[in-house]
């Protein structure tokens, strides 16, 4: 089904599925696995690469000549859009909220190195940033350009629907009976896409979403909106509530988005010491802290295999 949608191959091969044996010994749960979406060939990788494959597929099908993307200076999506544009020979305009930090560092530094045009929008919120991005696209179109605005959540969700198939095939090949999937709960694109893929394949997965950005009600609303869009886009009919296998946890939010917690710092050190995993503190460390908490509370039974998706964001550790 997903082959019907245009896609640019940025991954080249599946990302690794690794057994976390030492964390298993530490927690008393011997069936903990990690899907290494931080290990991709494009500019440090990360979950946005899978969405970009479909966003860029649509952009190329429309013969667009410039990519437009908006985000915060720490945005992984902006970094990876600039990287993909460099690979494809497209122009890229990045609209950053906030002011120009000197010297540039982390994701912002990498975005500039890959040749993207950068504009700083000043201290604007998420809604205003989106409005300014759409206005920029209108202005570019009026001047004769063919822009493509990165970020449609439904098209982007196709990337992790495809990832669900990739993970399932890896598990089957390894004789692994996966029952639990742990993901960060944020904008919803990654989460909804993987939920949709699991539905298409009729997989017996329970999803544990560790919210790093929103309260449960808002995160659930975002998931439903994207899932509804995926059903409409593909013409698939939902047979039951797509969120019936989803558990949302807000106990790792702490003071909010991007603010580390004692648990996330401890998780970062523990996973580095035992598994050599590098966890940034905006999304990934809180998600791993949530995994450890789920195991400790037996939300994930010790006799059922679980996989956490490492969604990348590695450059953020240098902020």
Which residues, 6+ apart, have CB-to-CB distance to 131 below 8 Å?
none
Top mean-pLDDT range of 7-21, 92-106, 120-134: 7-21
The pairing of beta strand 178-185 with beta strand 147-149: unpaired
3-state secondary structure 176-221: CCEEEEEEEECCCHHHHHHHHHHHHHCCCCEEEEEECCCCHHHHHH
Which residues, 6+ apart, have CB-to-CB distance to 265 below 8 Å?
281, 285
- Does a structural domain hold residue 269? yes
Q: Tell whether 35 and 172 lie within a shared domain.
A: yes
Q: If 0-12 CB within 10 Å is exposed, 13-18 middle and 19+ buried, where does residue 113 land?
A: middle
Q: If 0-12 CB within 10 Å is exposed, 13-18 middle and 19+ buried, where does residue 316 land?
A: buried
d(CA 175, CA 141): 52
Residue 99 token pair: 């002011």
For range 91-110, the mean pLDDT = 88
Q: How far is CA 30 from CA 20, 98, 112, 257, 274, in A?
A: 8, 45, 43, 31, 14
pLDDT at 62 exceeding the cut of 90: yes
Confidence of residue 132 (pLDDT cuts 50, 70, 90): very high
Tokens 């997903």 label which residue? 2
Nearest to 167 by CA among 198, 208, 199, 190: 198
36 touches 276 (CB < 8 A) = no
Provide the sign of the torsion angle of the four alpha carbons 231, 159, 150, 217, taken in this order: positive
In 3-114 the beta strands, taken as DSSP E runs, fall at 17-19, 32-36, 66-71, 91-96
- Does a structural domain hold residue 59? no
The pairing of beta strand 206-211 with beta strand 66-71: unpaired
Q: What is the pLDDT of residue 73?
A: 84
264 touches 289 (CB < 8 A) = yes
Q: Tell whether 102 and 222 lie within a shared domain.
A: no
Last residue of a domain, one of 93, 120, 145: 145
Q: What is the pLDDT of residue 98?
A: 87
Query: Quick one: how many helices (H) and strands (E) in the chain?
Result: 10, 10
pLDDT digits (tens, 9 = 90+) for 157-199: 999 999 999 999 999 999 999 999 999 999 999 999 999 999 9
- Does a structural domain hold residue 97? yes
Last residue of a domain, one of 126, 145, 164: 145
d(CA 193, CA 145): 31
pLDDT digits (tens, 9 = 90+) for 6-50: 999 999 999 999 999 999 999 999 999 999 999 999 999 999 999
pLDDT digits (tens, 9 = 90+) for 253-311: 999 888 999 999 999 999 999 999 999 998 999 999 999 999 999 999 999 999 999 99
Q: What is the pLDDT of residue 240?
A: 83
- In Å, how far from its chain's centre is CA 207? 15
- Does a structural domain hold residue 58? no
pLDDT digits (tens, 9 = 90+) for 67-97: 999 998 889 999 999 999 999 999 999 999 9
Q: What is the pLDDT of residue 103?
A: 80
Q: What is the pLDDT of residue 319?
A: 75
- Does a structural domain hold residue 240? yes
DSSP 3-state of 268: helix
Q: Tell whether 139 and 159 lie within a shared domain.
A: no
Q: Tell whether 209 and 262 lie within a shared domain.
A: yes
| Of 258 and 218, the one with more pLDDT | 218
Q: What is the pLDDT of residue 195?
A: 97
- Does a structural domain hold residue 174? yes
For range 133-158, the mean pLDDT = 98
Q: Tell whether 194 and 212 lie within a shared domain.
A: yes
* Stated pTM of the model: 0.95
Total length of the chain: 319
| Domain of 198, in residue numbers | 2-46+153-318
Tokens 């409005």 label which residue? 131
Q: If 0-12 CB within 10 Å is exposed, 13-18 middle and 19+ buried, where does residue 261 land?
A: middle
How many domains, in total, are found in the chain?
A: 2
The pairing of beta strand 117-120 with beta strand 91-96: parallel
Q: Tell whether 91 and 231 lie within a shared domain.
A: no
Q: Tell whether 307 and 158 lie within a shared domain.
A: yes
Last residue of a domain, one of 145, 173, 189: 145
For residue 5, give the H/E element and its range.
Answer: none
Q: Tell whether 163 and 297 lie within a shared domain.
A: yes
d(CA 286, CA 296): 15
């Amino acid at each position: 089904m997903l082959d019907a949608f245009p896609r640019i191959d940025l991954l080249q091969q599946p990302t690794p599925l690794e057994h976390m044996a030492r964390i298993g010994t530490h927690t008393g749960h011997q069936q903990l696995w990690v899907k290494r979406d931080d290990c991709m060939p494009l500019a440090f990788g990360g979950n946005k690469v899978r969405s970009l494959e479909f966003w860029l597929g649509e952009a190329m099908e429309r013969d667009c000549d410039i990519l437009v993307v908006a985000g915060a200076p720490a945005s992984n999506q902006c970094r990876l859009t600039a990287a993909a544009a460099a690979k494809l020979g497209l122009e890229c305009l990045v609209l950053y909220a906030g002011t120009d930090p000197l010297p540039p560092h982390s994701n912002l530094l990498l975005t500039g190195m890959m040749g993207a045009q950068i504009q700083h929008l000043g201290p604007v919120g998420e809604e205003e940033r989106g409005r300014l991005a759409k206005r920029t696209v209108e202005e570019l179109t009026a001047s004769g350009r063919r822009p493509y605005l990165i970020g449609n959540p439904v098209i982007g969700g196709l990337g992790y629907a495809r990832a669900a198939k990739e993970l399932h095939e890896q598990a089957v090949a390894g004789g692994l009976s996966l029952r639990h999937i742990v993901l960060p709960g944020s904008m919803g694109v990654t989460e909804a896409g993987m939920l949709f893929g699991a539905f298409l394949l009729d997989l017996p997965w329970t999803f544990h979403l560790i919210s790093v950005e929103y309260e449960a009600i808002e995160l659930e609303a975002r998931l439903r909106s994207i899932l509804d869009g995926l059903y409409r886009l593909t013409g698939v009919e939902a047979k039951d509530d797509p969120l019936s296998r989803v558990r949302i946890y807000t106990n790792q939010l702490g003071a909010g988005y991007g603010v580390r917690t004692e648990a996330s710092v401890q998780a970062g050190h523990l996973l580095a010491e035992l598994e050599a995993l590098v966890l940034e503190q905006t999304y990934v460390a809180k998600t791993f802290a949530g995994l450890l908490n789920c195991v400790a509370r037996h939300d994930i039974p010790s006799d059922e295999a679980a996989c956490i998706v490492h969604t990348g964001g590695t450059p953020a550790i240098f902020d």
